[in-house]
């Protein structure tokens, strides 16, 4: 696989080419993804749930993400590698810069940060210091205790407008990609059209530029529950390589997510 950069994602968005992405946490799976030419991998703090067995992502540390970022980079030298900034690592823009440097030195190409408009100064400071940022909005799992559970976000008009205007503000501050999680498909479509940067959806319908799944959900091996918007591609195909290939093909061809895996 050739080296993937943010310019490729921008090009695909402009051309209307949908792209698949996945979480990854270790070198062996990263190598499988690299062989199948998965362009973007995320070392997500979902590792707190699928690797560590916690009920949420809050216990995950910066060191955990740095360790798994090194592992994934070893298995996939050419993907665009995103690394999650864990809970409480963004308390000030300065702290965010110090913490992001640890992840970039571990092999990340971009950091992902959960939150809306309150992160504008952080995004500015990170990007001015050469740290590319992917924003993450909608159901941001680090805020599970504020939301009172893993609930769909943006159903009410006011909240939907807020998500859209915060997304524009983060793009204006320099964010180069956006993940939208668990929001109504129509809202995700509006935001994707309104933004110039690539938008990657999870539980956000089929009209975003890219899709992401937690790899354990894609393979139906999650220790906890399986979200309704995810699909077990291993059950359909029978082996891991074919499951990854099928997920990638279905995203590229607009077949995943279908109606059954979409939040209206």
> Which residue in the list 34, 162, 181, 186 is annotated as catalytic?
181
Say if residues 230 and 214 touch (Cβ distance below 8 Å).
yes
Which 32-71 residues touch ligand KIV, going by CB under 6 A?
42, 44-46
181 is an active site residue = yes
E strand segments, the chain: 19-23, 40-43, 80-84, 110-114, 133-138, 177-181, 199-202, 210-213
Choose which of 40, 191, 202, 240 interacts with ligand KIV (CB under 6 A): 202
Short-list 134, 137, 83, CA closest to 106: 83
Q: Does 214 bind ligand KIV (CB under 6 A)?
A: yes
- The smaller minimum CB distance to ligand KIV, of residues 23 and 69, is found at 23
Question: Minimum CB separation from ligand KIV for residue 179, in Å?
Answer: 5
- The smaller minimum CB distance to ligand KIV, of residues 42 and 135, is found at 42
Cβ neighbours of residue 61 under 8 Å, at least 6 residues apart?
A: 86
Q: Does 222 bind ligand KIV (CB under 6 A)?
A: no
- The smaller minimum CB distance to ligand KIV, of residues 131 and 182, is found at 182
Q: Does 208 bind ligand KIV (CB under 6 A)?
A: no
Q: Does 23 bind ligand KIV (CB under 6 A)?
A: yes
Q: How far apart are CA 79 and CA 34, in angstroms?
A: 7
Q: How far apart are CA 145 and CA 180, in angstroms?
A: 19
- The smaller minimum CB distance to ligand KIV, of residues 48 and 184, is found at 48
Which 138-197 residues touch ligand KIV, going by CB under 6 A?
179, 181
Choose which of 84, 207, 209, 250 interacts with ligand KIV (CB under 6 A): 84
Q: How far apart are CA 8 and CA 39, in angstroms?
A: 9
Pairing mode, strands 40-43 and 177-181: unpaired
Question: What six digits make up the tokens of 54?
Answer: 């916690």
Phi, psi at residue 178, to the nearest 5°? -140, 130
How many residues sit close enough to ligand KIV to count as binding (CB under 6 A)? 12
Residues that bind ligand KIV (CB under 6 A): 23, 42, 44-46, 84, 136, 179, 181, 202, 212, 214
Catalytic residues: 181
């Amino acid at each position: 696989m050739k080296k993937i950069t943010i310019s490729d994602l921008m090009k695909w968005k402009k051309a209307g080419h949908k792209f698949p992405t996945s979480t990854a946490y270790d070198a062996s799976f990263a190598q499988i993804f690299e062989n199948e030419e998965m362009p973007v991998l995320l070392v997500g703090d979902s590792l707190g749930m699928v690797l560590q067995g916690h009920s949420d992502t809050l216990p995950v540390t910066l060191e955990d993400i740095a360790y798994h970022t090194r592992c994934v980079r070893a298995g996939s030298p050419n993907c665009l590698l995103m690394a999650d900034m864990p809970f409480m690592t963004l308390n000030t823009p300065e702290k965010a810069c110090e913490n992001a440097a640890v992840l970039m030195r571990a092999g990340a190409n971009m950091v992902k940060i959960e939150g809306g408009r309150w992160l504008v100064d952080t995004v500015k400071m990170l990007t001015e210091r050469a740290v590319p940022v992917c924003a993450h909005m909608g159901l941001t799992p680090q805020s599970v205790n504020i939301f009172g559970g893993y609930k769909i976000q943006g159903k009410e008009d006011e909240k939907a407008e807020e998500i859209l205007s915060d997304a524009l503000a983060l793009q204006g501050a320099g964010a180069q990609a956006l993940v939208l999680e668990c929001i109504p498909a129509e809202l995700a479509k509006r935001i994707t059209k309104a933004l110039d940067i690539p938008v990657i959806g999870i539980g956000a319908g089929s009209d975003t530029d890219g899709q992401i799944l937690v790899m354990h959900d894609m393979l139906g091996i999650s220790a906890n529950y399986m979200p309704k918007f995810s699909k077990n591609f291993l059950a359909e195909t029978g082996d891991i390589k074919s499951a990854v290939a099928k997920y990638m093909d279905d995203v590229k061809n607009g077949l995943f997510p279908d109606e059954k895996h979409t939040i209206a």
